[in-house]
Amino acid sequence: MSRLRVFSETAPDTVLFESSDAAVIAERLQAIGVGFERWTVRPIADDASNESILAAYKPEIDQLVAENGFRAVDVVSINPDHPEREAMRAKFLSEHSHKEDEVRFFVRGSGLFTLHIEDRVYEILCQTQDLIRVPDGTKHWFDMGPAPRFTAIRFFTEADGWVGYFTDSGLAERFPRYEGHA
């Protein structure tokens, strides 16, 4: 189940707000400029190719591309037995931002996006069928967990994809890590 938790940046052990209601999550995130929505899940085989995943969601992808001018769309998939899972997890665990929106749709599995906006930290557990849009310039980090299991469609404005600008704030290291997977 998707979840939003809000913390003060100075109190990583104290939850100020929590909800698992998708409509409440979308409303709270919209208030800070973050998009959150749900797409209808399509039946997809565990061994589905990236091309078949993109084909299954073609109408939604085409609409999002047309509305936002994305120039590249791809699929990322990782499972607990991936030999580079620890390095892949570590790559995203520190606070960073991008010069373009970070848009991800979870085809299956889960991951934890944590956003740092003003003096608040917003922890969003994204699950199958969740689409999140983190605006460019938003400080955040992403945790796929120690045994990652997810497939996500990624949207990029720049053809070279993900480029992170790290803050070296140390904030992400003070907050709890994601220990689960779906």
Domain boundaries defined on the chain: 3-174
What is the per-residue pLDDT for 159? 67
Q: Indicate if the pLDDT at residue 92 is higher than 60.
A: yes
Both tokens assigned to 135? 């605006």
What is the per-residue pLDDT for 100? 92
Distance, CA of 156 to CA of 92 (rounded, Å)? 17
Q: Indicate if the pLDDT at residue 182 is higher than 50.
A: no
**Is there a contact between 77 and 99 (Cβ–Cβ < 8 Å)?**
no
CB count in 10 Å sphere of residue 37: 16
Give strand ranges (E) for 39-101: 72-78, 96-97
Q: Indicate if the pLDDT at residue 6 is higher than 90.
A: yes
Nearest to 181 by CA among 78, 83, 110: 110
pLDDT, tens digit, 9 for 90 and up, residues 94-131: 999 999 999 999 999 999 999 999 999 999 999 999 99
The percentage of the chain sitting over the pLDDT mark of 70, rounded to a whole number, equals: 97
pLDDT, tens digit, 9 for 90 and up, residues 11-42: 999 999 999 999 999 999 999 999 999 999 99
Q: What is the CA radius of gyration of the chain?
A: 16
Distance, CA of 32 to CA of 6 (rounded, Å)? 12
Q: Which CATH architecture has domain 3-174?
A: Sandwich (2.60)
Average pLDDT of the chain is 93
Q: Which residue type occupies 148?
A: P
Distance, CA of 110 to CA of 147 (rounded, Å)? 11
Distance, CA of 110 to CA of 93 (rounded, Å)? 15
pLDDT, tens digit, 9 for 90 and up, residues 38-61: 999 998 888 899 999 999 999 999
Distance, CA of 66 to CA of 59 (rounded, Å)? 11
Output DSSP code: residue 169. -
